[in-house]
Amino acid sequence: MNSLQNKTALITGSARGLGKAIAERYAALGANIVLNFSKDNISAEETLSNIEAMGAKAIAIQADVSKVTDIERLFNETKKAFGKIDIVVANAGIEMVETPVTQYTEEQFDRLFNINTKGAYFTMQQAAKNIEDNGRIIYIASSTTVYPIPGMAVYGGSKTTPRYLVDVLSKEIGNRGVTVNSIIPFAVDHSGIFVDPNAYPELRKSLIESCPMGRLAKVEDVANLAEFFASDLSSFVNGQHLLVNGGANQ
């Protein structure tokens, strides 16, 4: 088993869904965990309790990643609590689907880009400034950045810019032994828009039909790769974008 003993991991958007699964995986591997949430303090407290029950040290910090001052505070409080940061997962984001290009509003555009693009960018910027040598920076992207899907233009676009940042940042700080990679998940069951198993039935059906394995991704599928990228096994894997999609063609 990989060990993250004595490592400190900060995961944005980790009260529930993918972020929660990644945080709990890292906790099981011995890391100190910093949970981040924007509004859902109830889920954050539940996740915090789960992690503490594993015997791991953890704190939960409220911060809105669309605000740079909140991101800076998040990193400062993490270092104050644990003294260092070894792993940063830029996971926080929102989704919007089944909306044609002609119907997106300026307000919707701004909201998606403020959280998904600006938030991820400045999270990784702070990670680059604060992470320990030989640390790990991981961006959670979306398969819509590889396979364009009607109705997801602004969502997919908002997730594309941080992917390019991964390419550049991996070259700028690789000399410190820090790796910067992205995970590109397929639609994930029990996460995001598919938290409700009855939501978006036609889209769910279409996505499942596009996957040779006949299902959506599970949060564990993504956590597996997050474990790899955080561990010593990936010490020479840098600037990479890995699909977790079961061979789906969208």
DSSP letter string, 23-78: HHHHHHTT-EEEEEESS-HHHHHHHHHHHHHTT--EEEEE--TTSHHHHHHHHHHH
pLDDT for 14: 97
pLDDT for 85: 98
State residue 22 phi and psi, 5-degree precision: -70, -45
Question: Which residue type does 165 have?
Answer: L
pLDDT for 2: 85
Dihedral (Cα; 57, 134, 114, 160), 10-degree rounding? -130
Q: Would you give per-residue pLDDT tens digits along the chain (250 residues)?
A: 689 999 999 999 999 999 999 999 999 999 999 999 999 899 999 999 999 999 999 999 999 999 999 999 999 999 999 999 999 999 999 999 999 999 999 999 999 999 999 999 999 999 999 999 999 999 999 999 999 999 999 999 999 999 999 999 999 999 999 999 999 999 999 898 998 888 899 999 999 999 999 999 999 999 999 999 999 999 999 999 999 999 998 7
pLDDT for 196: 87
pLDDT for 250: 75
Backbone angle region of 83, left / alpha / beta, with phi > 0 → left and psi within -120 to 50 → alpha: left
Q: Which residues contact 43 (CB under 8 A, 6 or more apart)?
A: 15, 16, 20, 37
What does the longest C-alpha to C-alpha distance in the chain come to? 51
Which residue reads 């000399």 in tokens? 175
The DSSP element (H or E) to which 220 belongs, if any, is: helix 219-230
pLDDT for 136: 98
Which residue reads 């992207």 in tokens? 141
Alpha carbon distance 82, 88 (integer Å): 14
- Using a 10 angstrom Cβ sphere, with 0-12 exposed, 13-18 middle and 19 or more buried, the burial of residue 250 is middle
